[in-house]
């Protein structure tokens, strides 16, 4: 099965990421979301094809020591809760 996910905009309120760390966060987010979709799959409702105009993700916990990679993984998990099984 081929899964195509297009995210036009990801809004991260209250997260201070330095410009040079944005690519690290983005790469971690993309790889973790791809892993979750590959390993676990989509919800039945979305597996037949669908578009969501918006999705509210689950809350995540971030500390001052959270790395961009860790934040990206947490965001991917939160997004996946909205589209996964």
Confidence class of residue 58 from pLDDT cuts 50, 70 and 90? confident
CA neighbours within 13 Å on the CB side: how many for 32? 20
pTM above 0.75, yes or no: yes
For residues 76 and 28, the answer to whether their CB atoms sit within 8 Å is yes
pLDDT digits (tens, 9 = 90+) for 8-26: 887 777 788 888 899 999 9
Write out the H or E segment, with its range, that includes residue 55: none
């Amino acid at each position: 099965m081929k899964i195509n996910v297009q995210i036009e905009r990801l809004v991260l309120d209250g997260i201070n990421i330095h410009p040079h760390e944005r690519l690290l966060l983005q790469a971690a987010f993309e790889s973790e979301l791809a892993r979750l979709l590959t390993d676990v799959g989509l919800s039945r409702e979305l597996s037949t094809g669908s578009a969501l105009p918006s999705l509210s993700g689950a809350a995540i916990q971030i500390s001052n020591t959270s790395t961009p990679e860790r934040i990206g993984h947490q965001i991917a998990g939160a997004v996946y809760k909205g589209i996964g099984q």
